[in-house]
């Protein structure tokens, strides 16, 4: 019995800002197999695969970054997921599809935003990047070629960084298989021409481990803040009880039973004072511990920043072929 030959593999990662249409583009590429929920923000990397146009296509959808957010302001979890997206392929992705809406205003700030978010993947990431313009229907009677010619130097410069490679999809035309087949053809030519299917440098894992450390530290800080909040609430409750007790006016002619009850109340008040002192000491200790955590976090961020600079020198890249 003859065993069918394995289909050629094509590994893709989609990156872009929020609302660019990444999830909808994935649905179009995979023909609805394992569909992503369009319009809902992607919170972590998700990998899907399907047989498309004679190839085994695997796609990773990623969380989008906020509009006009420089890398420094992008949450750590988004940066972490961007790096993790490429590590979901043991041999690395063939192509990064940079997703941009067809009618988006591609300003210099937008270009800078894109460059900063792709920078951690290495300088040579651009050799493996194709622009994927979504919502082509929004162009109306204007073709993408006309839009590029009349858009000015910013969009044209971005296109040049991607080797003038681009494709347009109409997210509303889900039944139009021709646009997906054409995209697969372009991607296949790109892979065959550049031999993109290479392994990543080992330092990639080091950076990912560093980002996991940042996540763990952030989680610990959140837990610590929650514990501090609970302790402060307990302390305030104890303080309110203590002062409410002191405000009570002892009436003259108290009976022995009443005096005994008041003495018990006084003893409990003393115990509360001791509890308050212990709580204050605990809060002080936790506050100092939190400050140490913040300092460690700052050191870790600086170390990762140095790693990224090291990655982007000419001799280092994730895309070593």
Residue 219 has pLDDT above 60, yes or no: yes
Q: Which residue matches tokens 């493996």?
A: 128
Q: What is the pLDDT of residue 40?
A: 66
| Pairing of the two strands 55-61 and 46-52 | antiparallel
How are strands ordered across the β-sheet holding 95-101?
Answer: 46-52, 55-61, 9-15, 95-101, 129-134, 166-168
The average pLDDT across 165-183 equals 83
Q: Quick one: pLDDT at residue 5?
A: 58
306 or 130, which is more confident: 130
DSSP state of 65: B
pLDDT at residue 7 above 60?
yes
Percent of the chain with pLDDT over 90: 24
State mean pLDDT over 156-181: 86
Which residues touch 90 (CB under 8 Å, ≥6 apart)?
Answer: none
pLDDT of 162 above 80: yes
> How is the chain split into domains, by residue range?
9-199, 204-311
The region of weakest confidence among 206-215, 267-276, 292-301 is 206-215
Query: What CA–CA distance (Å, rounded) separates 162 from 156?
Result: 10
Does residue 18 have a pLDDT over 60? yes
Of the candidate ranges 47-51, 187-191, 315-319, the one whose mean pLDDT is the lowest: 315-319
> Is the pLDDT at 193 greater than 70, yes or no?
yes
pLDDT of 16 = 94
Q: Which of 36-40, 118-122, 314-318 has the highest mean pLDDT?
A: 118-122
Report the range of poorest mean pLDDT among 16-30, 102-116, 229-243, 305-319: 305-319
Residue 132 has pLDDT above 70, yes or no: yes
**Rounded to an integer, what distance in angstroms lies between the CA atom of residue 7 and that of residue 9?**
6
Q: How far is CA 239 from the centre of its chain?
A: 43
- The length of the chain is 321
Best CA proximity match to 29, nearest among 192, 177, 165:
177
Q: Write down the mean pLDDT value for the chain.
A: 75
Answer yes or no: is pLDDT of 14 > 80. yes
Which of 38-47, 53-62, 89-98 reaches the highest mean pLDDT?
53-62
The position carrying tokens 């999809």 is 169
Task: Say which residue the tokens 């990543």 belong to.
Answer: 200
CATH superfamily of 9-199: P-loop containing nucleotide triphosphate hydrolases (3.40.50.300)
Mean pLDDT, residues 224-235 taken together: 73
Supply 216's token pair. Answer: 């763990």
pTM of the predicted model as reported, rounded to 2 decimal places: 0.65
């Amino acid at each position: 019995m003859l065993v069918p030959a394995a289909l050629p593999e094509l590994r893709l990662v989609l990156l872009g800002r929020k609302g660019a249409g990444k999830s909808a583009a994935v649905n179009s590429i995979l023909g609805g197999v394992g569909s992503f929920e369009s319009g809902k923000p992607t919170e972590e990397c998700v990998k899907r695969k399907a047989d498309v146009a004679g190839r085994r296509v695997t796609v990773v959808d990623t969380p989008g970054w906020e509009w006009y957010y420089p890398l420094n302001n992008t949450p750590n979890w988004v940066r972490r997921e961007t790096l993790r997206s490429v590590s979901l392929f043991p041999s690395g992705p063939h192509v990064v599809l940079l997703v941009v809406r067809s009618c988006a205003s591609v300003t210099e700030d937008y270009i800078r935003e894109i460059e900063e978010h792709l920078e951690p993947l290495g300088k040579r990431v651009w050799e493996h990047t194709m622009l994927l313009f979504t919502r082509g229907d929004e162009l109306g009677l204007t073709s993408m070629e006309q839009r590029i010619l009349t858009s000015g130097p910013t969009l044209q410069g971005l296109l040049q960084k991607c080797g003038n490679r681009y494709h347009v999809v109409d997210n509303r035309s889900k039944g139009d298989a021709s646009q997906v087949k054409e995209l697969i053809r372009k991607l296949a030519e790109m892979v065959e021409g550049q031999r993109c299917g290479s392994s990543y440098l080992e330092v990639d894992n080091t950076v990912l481990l560093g980002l996991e450390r940042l996540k763990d530290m952030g989680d610990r800080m959140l837990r610590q803040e929650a514990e501090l909040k609970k302790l402060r609430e307990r302390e305030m409750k104890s303080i309110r009880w203590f002062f409410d007790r002191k405000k009570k006016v002892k009436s003259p002619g108290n009976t022995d039973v009443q005096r005994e009850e008041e003495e018990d109340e006084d003893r409990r008040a003393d115990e509360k004072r001791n509890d308050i002192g212990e709580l204050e000491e605990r809060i002080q200790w936790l506050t100092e511990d939190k400050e140490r955590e913040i300092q460690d976090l700052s050191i870790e961020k600086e170390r990762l920043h140095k790693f990224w600079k090291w990655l982007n020198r000419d001799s280092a890249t994730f895309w070593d072929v």
